[in-house]
Structure formats: structure tokens, C-alpha cells
Amino acid sequence: MQPPFAEFCAPHPPQEPVSALSFLGETQSKRALHLLVSSWDKFVRLYDLGRCANGADAVQVLQSFEHPAAVLYVTWIHENLAASACLDRRVRLLNLETGQMMILGKHDNGVCRVCYDPHSKLLFSGSWDATVKVWDPHGEPADALKATLSMPGKVFAMDVSPPSTSLPAQLIVAMSERAVHVYNTYKLRDALNGPNADSFEPEQRRESSLKFMLRDVKSTPDGTGYVTSSVEGRVAVEFLDTSEAAQAQKYAFKCHRKEVDGVDVVYPIHAVAFHPVYGTFATCGGDAHCALWDAVAKKRIRQYALPSPVSTASFSADGSVLVIASGAENMEDAHHPGPDAGEVGGMGAGGPGRVLLHIKWATDDAKPKAKPA
């Protein structure tokens, strides 16, 4: 039964734009509604939304982890441990029980993504130094780094797909120059025991269907494909199966656009989030909207208007709750001086002091629309 609450905003939001939201991915855990939030204000915060049906006052901040620089991503390893990616080039482990933080290792440039594969039990970090590092977060820190994989460009986004009926778990890496690499995480784990782990080759080398810089990549919940978004207001739905029949199903579409004074203004799509049960997905736009899409029907289900540009979103593991972060700054607006500075199109400005975490009940909203009889 749906709890009796409408949208509300979580108390004590970050003071600068949110870079990532991540729910614990275990539906049976008592911490299934624990939410990790990383931000440009240098903090990772752990929120408890377990009693959010009672409203904003029931939302608690359980832990705060201050970093030396902006935190660009955060991911769960298990219910007591998380990993963060920081602009200071470090990958850190966060003990969610004790509040302690430990440096696992570092890159040569800012770390923009971390993701954990529960099947191979490996942690991956992607950096603007054009490498992906492979870590064992469960052993001794001195021996945690297992491999450094060279990429053809800067890493912008990564995700791990779950195993499907025909494919094992895959690491999907989206980079500059529209490059996408796909790695078999089981084979990679086995290769770590050999002498050539650093030269491990991807299963697939792809060129994105999108013509402009990629902003995000997210795997489908069934492990058969992934979705990418770009700065040019477009989304691509791709399939991992390389057969001609599977590749014939891929498609791309434009969204998050607005006509302003007779001009079609295109906004970046900062992030994508999948509903874990329905397979529908959310896109987070610089136009201050979060849209829900049915990938199978190729239709928009619903659209939320937010007060300022949307940086990211996340569904809980059971799909009951959707959290949306507004208060982002579109890249061009952060460096646009003069009296016309700010967001184009009438929405409110994002940036420091304007960040909100919107909590929505998602079970009905994210459900695919029934096909007409």
C-alpha cells in the first residue's frame, strides 16, 4: 500500500550541487532505504529514509564524511562499507558504521567514478587520467590495487551490468571522443592472477551513437544493455549482444529541450537512473526537469518540473522511492558573466545554497503505461 505522503524535501541537504545518489541495492536489508549522497561541498552523507512515509522530519543524516576536495561519486560495497571518488585523485573507503575513512589509493587526475561488482567482488575507479583502476576492497590496503587499465580517453562515466541469461556481468566505461568499452568482469577477475593484468583487453570497443560528449551511462536492470546521455539533450538505448538482430533494436532520441524566444534551447542530460523492477528509467536534465521513460514502448511516462537544473536521481532497490537532486549548474552557465548570466529558459538558478533533495513515491509513477486493448 502506498504511504500517504506527497513529495517533500529532505532536511540538511548538501550546500553545493549533488554529484551522485545511491541507495543500498539489497531489498531485504533493514538498510534498504539508506541513501548515500556525494556533493561538490566535499561531503558524502548517509541518509536514513526508512521512515520517510512520516515526512521530512523522519529523515535522518546518520553519517557525514568530509573530504579534502569535491566528491564526484559514491557507491556501496556492502551495507557497512562504501567507496568515494574525489577530485583530489584519491579513492577512499567509508566505514558507514564507525564513520572512519581510509585512502585506498590514487590516480594521476581527478577520480570521477567508482562502481562495485558484487559478483567478482571488485571495485573499479575511473579517472580523467584515462585509466580505470581495479581494486580489491576486502583485503589489505597495501595490496588493494590489482590492475591499471589504460583507456583511449578520459573516463566520464561507468557502470556494472548484472549477469543476464546470456551474458556475464560487464563493466561499461564511457569516455571522451565518444568511446565506450565493455569488459567481462569474471574474465578480468581471473586475469588478475596472471602477469598481464594491466593489458587486459575489453570484450567490446564501441563508438557511442550520440555525437556529443557523454555525461552518464547506466546498465539496464536485466543486464542486456545500457543507456547513455549526452550534453546535447539526447539519450541512446544500446544492447550488449553484438548480434545483428540485437543491434537492430538500438535507438536514440532527443529530450530536455525548450523553446525560448523562438529558439530551441538544448540542455545537458546530467544523469540516468533505472527503476529496478519495471526497467523504466529517469533522465535528469539541465532544463530543471526529471523525465520517466518506458524504454520498450519508447515513450515518456511522466515528467517532473523542479525548481532548478537536475543533477542526478536514484530509485530505492525495491523501486518504491525516487530521490531527485536539483540545484545543479549547467556547465555553460557557471562561466557566463554579465547581466544575462544564469539559466536560460526561466527556471531558478542552481549552485551553492540552492540544492534540494526531492523525495517521491515511485511505485505508481514509474510503472509502464498499459497498452490499449
Cell numbers linked to 42: 566535499
Assess if residue 1 is contained within a domain. Answer: no
Average pLDDT, the chain: 92
pLDDT for position 17:
96
Model confidence at 333, in pLDDT bands (50, 70, 90)?
Answer: low
Does the structure show a pLDDT above 80 at 14? yes
Asked if the model's pLDDT at residue 360 lies above 70, the reply is yes
Q: What percent of the chain has pLDDT over 90?
A: 78
pLDDT category at 123 given cuts 50, 70, 90 is very high
pLDDT at 332: 56
Residue by residue, DSSP assigns 315-326 as E-TTS-EEEEEE
Do the domain assignments include residue 339?
no
Q: Is the pLDDT of residue 335 over 60?
A: no
The reported pLDDT for the residue numbered 243 is 93
Q: Per-residue pLDDT for 56 more than 90?
A: no
Q: Is residue 338 part of a domain?
A: no
User: Between the ranges 1-15, 47-61, 104-118, where is the mean pLDDT highest?
Assistant: 104-118
pTM of this prediction? 0.94
Query: At residue 252, what are phi and psi to the nearest 5 degrees?
Result: -135, 155
Evaluate whether residue 263 is within a structural domain: yes
The count of residues in the chain is 373
CB neighbours of residue 168 within 10 Å: 16
Query: Residue ranges of the alpha helices (H) in the chain?
Result: 185-191, 244-247
- The domain that holds 318 is classified in CATH as 2.130.10.10
DSSP type of residue 370: P
Residue 336: what pLDDT? 52
Residue 123 lies in a domain: yes
Which pLDDT score is estimated for 27? 83
128 pLDDT band, cuts 50/70/90, is very high
Q: What average pLDDT does this structure show over 224-243?
A: 96
Q: For the residues 118-129, what does the mean pLDDT come to?
A: 97
Query: Is residue 169 predicted with pLDDT exceeding 60?
Result: yes
- Classify residue 368: in a domain, yes or no: no
Between 3-7, 59-63, 147-151, 220-224, the lowest mean confidence (pLDDT) is in 3-7
Cell numbers placing 322: 525516487
Q: What percent of the chain has pLDDT over 70?
A: 93
Task: Give the structural domain span for 61.
Answer: 8-331+346-361
The stretch 96-107 carries a mean pLDDT of 97
**What is the pLDDT, as a whole number, of residue 344?**
59
Q: How confident is the model at residue 166 (pLDDT cuts 50, 70, 90)?
A: confident
The candidate with the shortest Cα–Cα distance to 306, out of 324, 321, 323, is 324
CA gap 80, 31 in Å, rounded: 10
Q: Does 371 fall in a domain?
A: no
- Number of structural domains the chain divides into: 1
User: What's the chain's Rg over C-alpha atoms?
Assistant: 20
Q: Is residue 242 part of a domain?
A: yes
Measured distance CA(362)–CA(278) in Å, rounded: 11
Mean pLDDT of 171-181: 97
pLDDT score of 4: 41
Band the pLDDT of 242: cuts 50, 70, 90: very high
Q: Amino acid identity, residue 157? A: A
